[in-house]
Amino acid sequence: MSTTHFGFESVDEREKASRVRGVFDSVASRYDLMNDLMSAGLHRAWKAYTVMVANVRPGMAVLDIAGGTGDLALAFAPKVGPTGVVVHTDINAAMLGQGRNRLLDAGVVLPTLVCDAESLPFPDAHFDVVTVAFGLRNMTHKDKALAEMNRVIKPGGKLLVLEFSKVAKPLEKIYEVLPRLGKAVAGDDASYRYLAESIRMHPDQQTLKTLMQQGGFGHVDYHNLTGGMVALHVAIKC
Ligand X SMILES: C[S@@+](CC[C@H](N)C(=O)[O-])C[C@H]1O[C@@H](n2cnc3c(N)ncnc32)[C@H](O)[C@@H]1O
Give 54 or 65: the residue with its C-beta nearer to ligand X: 65
Cα separation, 202 vs 197, whole angstroms:
9
Query: Cβ 217 to ligand X, closest distance in Å?
Result: 19
Give kind and range of the element (H or E) at residue 11: strand 9-12
Cα separation, 68 vs 102, whole angstroms:
11
- Specify the DSSP class assigned to residue 235: E
Asked if 103 and 74 touch (Cβ cutoff 8 Å), the reply is yes
Query: Cβ 33 to ligand X, closest distance in Å?
Result: 12
Give 12 or 218: the residue with its C-beta nearer to ligand X: 12
Give 84 or 135: the residue with its C-beta nearer to ligand X: 135
User: Of 178, 215, 218, nearest to 198 (Cα)?
Assistant: 178
φ, ψ (nearest 5 deg) of residue 171:
-95, 0
Query: Cβ 162 to ligand X, closest distance in Å?
Result: 7
Asked if 130 and 159 touch (Cβ cutoff 8 Å), the reply is yes
Question: Which residues of the chain form contacts with ligand X (CB under 6 A)?
Answer: 20, 24, 35, 65-69, 71, 90-92, 95, 116-118, 133-135, 138-139
Query: Cβ 238 to ligand X, closest distance in Å?
Result: 25
Give kind and range of the element (H or E) at residue 156: strand 153-164
Q: Which residue is nearest to ligand X (CB)?
A: 68
Cα separation, 155 vs 217, whole angstroms:
10
Query: Cβ 80 to ligand X, closest distance in Å?
Result: 18
Give 65 or 155: the residue with its C-beta nearer to ligand X: 65
Query: Cβ 70 to ligand X, closest distance in Å?
Result: 8
Asked if 235 and 212 touch (Cβ cutoff 8 Å), the reply is yes
- How many other C-beta atoms can be found within 10 angstroms of the C-beta atom of residue 167? 21
Give 14 or 219: the residue with its C-beta nearer to ligand X: 14
Give 91 or 208: the residue with its C-beta nearer to ligand X: 91
